Amino acid sequence: MYAERASRLPGAVVWSRVPGPPAPGADNRSAASGGGPGEPPATPVAAVLPDGCMDLLWTEGRLLVAGPDTGPYVPDEVSSGGGWAGVRFFPGTAPTYLGVPADELRDRRVELTDLWAASEVRRLAARIDAADDPVTALEDVALRRAADTEQPDPVLLDVVAALDAGRPVARTADELGLGARQLHRRSLRAFGYGPKTLARVLRLQRALALARDGVPFAETALRAGFADQAHLARDVRELAGATLGELVARR
């Protein structure tokens, strides 16, 4: 079962995933393990889709960081039976809080001990393990880290807002007083990829939100900023590895 809520850290989302029975009518085989005859039913594992974000993750004694994705990611660990919690940072903010450029973690999941002192990570993991509510305990870690670091560059937050509103990359750079190369360099560090890829990822998320709200696909394409429905279909397939209809049905 998956649940999420707004975090006390501005712009972030706190989420949890715990093992549970498969949904009615769902394929009983785990998307990660494949399942098989005679095996107990497992909760189907949904792919994580690109969203421009990075996550701080906890699972029973481990702390990890999920870098920004450029394609669908199926989390093998979720099918192993343990619970998970995560703090999903607002796009462009995690590199400041975690102390690592986003492009170094693109399409990767790494142990937090690869980024922070191992003794500190073990101490934090033990505290979360022992907490009555590991989700809130993990959120507390993120809040303390944010309080102890510099605040993210507000210009990068303006980049997210502009691109999410559908503004072209060149216009965004001009409005923010940035050269194209400067915007690209800063975007790599903050988002893990250049502004054109970020714009595509944010447009994908707009389309998913519209389609899941029941907006017809042709209208979804227009309102999300695609040239037409064929353009929408190509981008969704390239970024999400599935059709828009499949993604809506999987929800």
Q: Per CATH, is 154-250 categorized as 3.30.1330.40?
A: no
Sheet hosting strand 84-88, strand order edge to edge: 2-6, 13-17, 84-88, 55-59, 62-66, 109-111
Domains of the chain by residue range:
2-147, 154-250
Question: In this prediction, what percent of the chain has a pLDDT beyond 90?
Answer: 82
Q: pLDDT class for 75, splitting at 50, 70, 90?
A: confident
Pick the closest to residue 66 from 192, 173, 184, 167 (CA basis): 192
59: how many CB neighbours lie within 10 A of its CB? 21
- Give the model confidence (pLDDT) of 113-148 as tens digits: 999 999 999 999 999 999 999 999 999 999 999 999
Q: Which phi and psi angles does 182 have, rounded to 5°?
A: -65, -45
Instruction: With beta carbons less than 8 A apart as the criterion, state whether 169 and 181 touch.
Output: no
pLDDT of residue 20: 65
* For the chain, the helix, strand and coil percentages under 3-state DSSP, each to the nearest 5: 45, 10, 40
What is the structure's pLDDT at 18? 87
pLDDT at 45: 60
Q: Looking at residue 81, what is its pLDDT?
A: 56
Could you read off the pLDDT of 101-122 as tens digits, one per residue? Answer: 999 999 999 999 999 999 999 9
Mean pLDDT of 158-166: 98
